[in-house]
């Protein structure tokens, strides 16, 4: 092995790159104490960190970068998928519920019904098909008409879906909802859900909040369906599914 001892190496052409090619593997070895712009590489720069275990994060320990297990935390919510509304569906289903998540959340945005006086809610898929009976729950609806608020409340027993209230049809005024279903993979308890919506018709505004149970069976839920009773959706808006983790 030959050693070249010089104080400086400069490219022969002004503005050109200076290439250092290592023999054999083609990798240049920079000895301990080498510097980049006056900073020692061995104390500040780590050119490679082994990935470690799947799911690890690149983490600083204050003096170097390491591959570290993420710190345990509280619950977190992650987007899974979005269905854009096309045609005139009366329901939107999500049939893949990963066991990575304990609870699931559906958010409907800028939705519009084909006609007025419809209602919306959720259905569960149990045993291979969506169940159309044995839901129960209670809903409170605040109805505002010409600046006068009037509360409505109602209870559904053995309903065809978990009813979360009124959903209307007003051009250029999309409707919104937010619903959560809990512990869907638990096979020993009845499944609970809750939801709320903001709705407007030609002269009134409705805010609805409700909760419900599916009492037909205690098996695990394998799908969640947003269901719109009385009138189909129109060709606008979207519904997104989110997963909620717990530490």
Q: Which of 57-66, 134-143, 201-210, 212-221 has the lowest mean pLDDT?
A: 201-210
Q: Tell me the HSE value of 214 on the side-chain side, using a 13 A CA sphere.
A: 29
- pLDDT number for residue 224: 97
Residue 161 has pLDDT above 80, yes or no: yes
Residue in the block written with tokens 């409705």: 206
Average of per-residue pLDDT across 145-172: 66
- Per the CB < 8 A criterion, the answer to whether 162 and 137 are in contact is yes
Pairing of strands 103-111, 175-181: antiparallel
Residue 230 has pLDDT above 90, yes or no: no
Q: Secondary structure of 127-152 in the HEC alphabet?
A: CCEECCCCEEEEEEEEEEECCEEEEE
Distance between CA atoms of residues 25 and 135, nearest Å: 68
Higher pLDDT, 91 or 210: 91
Q: Which two tokens stand for residue 60?
A: 């600083």
Residue 59 has pLDDT above 80, yes or no: yes
Residue-wise DSSP of 7-29: S----SSTT-------STT-PPP
Other beta carbons within 10 angstroms of residue 95's beta carbon come to 10
- SS3 of residue 42 by DSSP: helix
**What's the pLDDT tens digit per position in 93-137?**
999 999 999 999 999 998 888 776 678 889 999 988 999 999 988
pLDDT band at 170; cut points 50, 70, 90: low
Percent of the chain with pLDDT strictly greater than 90: 28
Distance between CA atoms of residues 10 and 201, nearest Å: 76
Average of per-residue pLDDT across 58-78: 78
Give residue 245's region: left, alpha or beta (phi > 0; psi -120 to 50).
Answer: beta
**What's the pLDDT tens digit per position in 14-56?**
777 766 666 656 566 666 666 666 666 655 555 577 888 887 8
- pLDDT number for residue 22: 62
Give me the chain's average pLDDT, please: 80
Distance between CA atoms of residues 235 and 178, nearest Å: 20
pLDDT band at 202; cut points 50, 70, 90: low
Cα dist from 80 to 83, 186, 191, 192, whole Å: 11, 20, 21, 21
Residue 69 has pLDDT above 90, yes or no: no
Q: H-helix or E-strand containing 41?
A: helix 41-44
């Amino acid at each position: 092995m030959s050693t070249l001892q010089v104080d400086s190496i400069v490219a022969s052409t002004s503005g050109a790159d200076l290439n250092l090619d290592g023999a054999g593997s083609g990798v240049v070895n920079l000895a301990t104490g080498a510097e980049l712009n006056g900073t020692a590489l061995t104390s500040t720069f780590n050119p490679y960190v082994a990935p470690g275990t799947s799911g690890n994060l690149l983490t600083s320990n204050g003096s170097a970068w390491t591959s570290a297990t993420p710190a345990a935390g509280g619950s977190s919510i992650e987007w899974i998928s979005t269905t854009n509304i096309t045609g005139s569906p009366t329901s939107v289903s999500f049939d893949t519920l990963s066991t990575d998540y304990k609870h699931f959340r559906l958010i409907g945005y800028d939705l519009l019904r084909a006609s007025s006086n419809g209602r919306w809610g959720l259905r569960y898929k149990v045993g291979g098909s969506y169940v159309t009976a044995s839901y129960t729950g209670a809903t409170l609806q605040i109805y505002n008409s010409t600046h006068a608020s009037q509360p409505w409340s109602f209870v559904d027993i053995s309903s065809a879906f978990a009813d979360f209230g009124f959903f209307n049809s007003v051009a250029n005024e999309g409707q919104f909802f937010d619903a959560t279903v809990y512990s869907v993979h638990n096979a020993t308890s009845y499944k609970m859900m809750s939801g709320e919506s903001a709705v407007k018709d030609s002269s009134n505004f409705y805010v609805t909040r409700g909760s419900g149970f599916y009492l037909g069976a205690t098996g695990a839920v394998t799908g969640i369906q947003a269901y719109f009773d009385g009138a189909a959706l129109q060709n606008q808006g979207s519904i997104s599914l989110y997963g909620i983790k717990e530490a």
